[in-house]
Amino acid sequence: MIFKHEHKLWHQGYDHIVGLDEAGRGSWAGPLVAGAVVWPRGFKNVAGLRDSKKLSSAGREKLFLQIIKNCLGWSVGIVPHTHIDEMGILEANREVFRRALENLGLLPHYVLIDGLKIFEPQYPHEFIVRGDDKIASIAAASIVAKVVRDKMLARFSKEHPEYNWHENKGYGTAEHRAALDQFGLSELHRLSFMPMREIY
């Protein structure tokens, strides 16, 4: 994936161009995680970079290492499942983006955000639908968010192997639903989501 959009913005005078994306929005359990990535001005290409959902787990891990090695800065924001239940998924999505930007350690000059317009960062920005499949910085952010969250779910899965979170990452698979029917809710499930709301 080439950095066409970023090069246009670099030529307009923006240096720190932040890609921003989240992982875990539709999951039944665990946190919402956002990734933020800033590439050095003039960066050209990362072989194999694309939307994290189109990569294998091994492919994401490999690209994650390339990203953190070559980028100017990266960070994550994390909103736990309890906050998602308290504030709702939309506000949680806004908050997780805010946290990722706050944790970056670099002053953003322009922010490229995946999806529809849901919040107003204080920096020049644009929302790009399916940006993780079009924009290199957003694709990198999607990989960072996905890899970090997957590692968290794999760790949680050791505590709750009955839900197989290391495989389904907390999403609503048939086996996850069957585990809910058999074992009930864990302390990491999102109680405001269906079908957990019915069980709770």
**What pLDDT is attached to residue 138?**
96
**What pLDDT is attached to residue 1?**
73
CATH of the domain at 195: 3.30.420.10
Q: Output the average pLDDT for the chain.
A: 95
Geometric angle at alpha carbon 72, from 130 and 70, rounded to 5°: 85
| 189 SS3 class | strand
Render pLDDT for 84-99 as a digit per residue (tens, 0 to 9): 999 999 999 999 999 9
Domain extent at residue 22: 4-199
Q: Fill in the DSSP letter of residue 80.
A: -
**What pLDDT is attached to residue 51?**
82
| 43 SS3 class | coil
Answer with the residue of higher pLDDT: 44 or 58.
58
pLDDT band at 22 (very low <50, low <70, confident <90, very high): very high
Number of domains observed in the structure of the chain: 1
**What pLDDT is attached to residue 120?**
87
Does the predicted model carry a pTM greater than 0.75? Answer: yes
For 174-179, what is the mean pLDDT?
97
Torsion angle, CA of 109/39/25/96, rounded to 10 degrees? -40
**What pLDDT is attached to residue 21?**
97
CA distances from 109 to 4, 101, 122, 170 (A): 17, 11, 10, 35
Joined tokens for residue 85:
């239940």
59, 92 in Cβ contact below 8 A?
no
Render pLDDT for 127-169 as a digit per residue (tens, 0 to 9): 999 999 999 999 999 999 999 999 999 999 999 999 999 999 9
For 17-32, what is the mean pLDDT?
97
In this structure, the number of other CB atoms found within 10 A of the CB of residue 13 comes to 8
Geometric angle at alpha carbon 40, from 138 and 146, rounded to 5°: 30
Geometric angle at alpha carbon 36, from 108 and 156, rounded to 5°: 150
What percent of the chain clears pLDDT 70, i.e. is strictly above it? Answer: 100
